[in-house]
Amino acid sequence: MAQLPLHTAGPYVAAAYIVFVALILLYVAIMAGKLSRIERELGELTELAQRTRSPGDGQDAL
């Protein structure tokens, strides 16, 4: 089993893999923003639909 030598190359390798992970996570974060916007708009639409269907009721199923 190869040891993990801690000489000068270590930080570079670590940096490279960290950059890779960071890019993925950044991308996920941006997509998360889009996802929450979709959720919010869906909520608004559901409300709108309920209002159109039963204008008398003040209930909401959310």
Structure tokens at 23: 């890019």
The only residue of 12, 55, 59, 61 in contact with other proteins, by rule CB under 8 A = 12
**Cβ closest to other proteins, residue 16 vs residue 62:** 16
The only residue of 10, 25, 54, 57 in contact with other proteins, by rule CB under 8 A = 10
DSSP state of 10: H
Distance of CA 15 to the CA centre of its chain: 24
Nearest distance, CB of residue 56 and other proteins, angstroms: 18
Q: Does the footprint of other proteins cover residue 23 (CB under 8 A)? A: yes
Separation CA 24–CA 42 (nearest Å):
27
Nearest distance, CB of residue 5 and other proteins, angstroms: 6
